[in-house]
Amino acid sequence: MSTPISTGPAGSRSAPTLAPPEADAALREPPGEPVDPGAFSSNTLFGQPGIYPQGPEMVPASGPPLDVEASREVLRRSVGPGHVARALDRFESSELCERVPDPQVRAALVLLGDGPAAPVLDAFLDDATPVLRLGVGRTVGEGRVIGTEIDDPDPARRVLDERYAAEHPGVIAPSLAHAICHHDEMASNAEEATLHGVLAATHTWLLAGDPHLGGLRTELARRQASLTISLLNARSPGSSAASIRCPDGPGTIPGGNPALQGPDLWGIPFTSRPAEDCDLFVPHPVRESLARLAASTAPQVPDRYGEHLGEWLSAHMGQGAWFGPVVRLTAGRALGLLPNADPGA
């Protein structure tokens, strides 16, 4: 059974019943087929095929969005014990309520606060990101989880697509980590791969703290899990360290759709836009988030999206306090990726 991550003396989560060397040894084993392919994408959705076509059809969560009290309860359950009071204070802040009026989206945003994407939340709270307001509506671009609203194309506002208005905040939060610092129409594939990696690392962190998220089988939960498996399984033979860029990885979706098999997120064609048309700086919150996924001794994160950043990810990602072996193993078990795994326990 998976062991939830608890908050240690320094405020970061650690698993008291699983030593890091044990987790490291387990992660050195080659990736295997998941216990339940139904935890991941299956049918073609918005023109994109699923990674495990043998799974059941994906269906969005039904019912009304979470109200204020239900959103508070999510925070009480999902946030590390030493951070609950701060999370609730942020959730109830009058300024944040004005900028993010929907409680479910606001709870998802606050969930970023003690994980790898905390610098993104901090920058949002300081009005230091391109996105300043969040809501719910119909997004521009089919299949977008978070995007510009069709009926209100304010460049400083993004909305959760109404298709996902009833989804759990824990599976909305990773997409916020991706969207808040995204260059939108100017993004290169390096930027897309990097931000999808931050998304998957955020989902990994949330799964480690609240493994029952791994048992969700809603459409958005399965879409997020499909990115997370592609990050957690992107590791070199004999290595325990997972990375956004791992060119010698054996394949991220064992037993999955052969047409979508690849070594890492970096090689997924998220966009066809030429890199030379997208010479963009990596925003400071994104660099800080990436630094949390590496050891404290790693050199500074490169300041531009491109091959130099990819090389940094290959060399240094996977040892940070927010993405170390215990966190990754606990999340992997929650998704049923490891032997004797108990998905969603």
Please tell me the distance from the alpha carbon of residue 142 to that of residue 257, in angstroms, as a whole number. 22
Mind listing the pLDDT tens digit for each residue in 67-92?
999 999 999 999 988 899 999 999 99
Residue 340: which pLDDT band, with cuts at 50, 70 and 90? low
Mind listing the pLDDT tens digit for each residue in 323-339?
999 999 999 999 999 76
**DSSP code string of 278-342:** ---BPPHHHHHHHHHTB-TTSPPPPSBSSHHHHHHHHHHBT-STTSSHHHHHHHHHHTT-STT--
264 inside domain: yes
Please tell me the distance from the alpha carbon of residue 197 to that of residue 305, in angstroms, as a whole number. 13
9 inside domain: no
Closest CA to 39 of 62, 60, 55, 59: 55
Structural domain that includes position 144: 20-334
4 inside domain: no
345 inside domain: no
Q: Note the pLDDT of residue 81.
A: 82
Q: How many domains does the chain have?
A: 1
Closest CA to 108 of 139, 122, 87, 128: 87
68 inside domain: yes
pLDDT at 4 over 80: no
Please tell me the distance from the alpha carbon of residue 223 to that of residue 239, in angstroms, as a whole number. 26
H helices of 159-188, where? 169-179
Residue 146: which residues within 8 A CB-CB, separation 6 or more?
Answer: 134, 139, 158, 159, 160, 161, 175, 176, 178, 179
Tracing tokens 């521009």 back to the chain, one arrives at 140
What are the DSSP E strand ranges found in the chain? 6-7, 13-14, 133-137, 146-147, 157-161
Mind listing the pLDDT tens digit for each residue in 181-198?
998 778 899 999 999 999
75 inside domain: yes
195 inside domain: yes
Please tell me the distance from the alpha carbon of residue 333 to that of residue 169, in angstroms, as a whole number. 21
pTM (predicted TM-score): 0.93
Does residue 151 sit in helix, strand or coil?
A: coil
Backbone φ and ψ of 304, nearest 5°:
-130, 145
pLDDT at 141 over 70: yes
5 inside domain: no
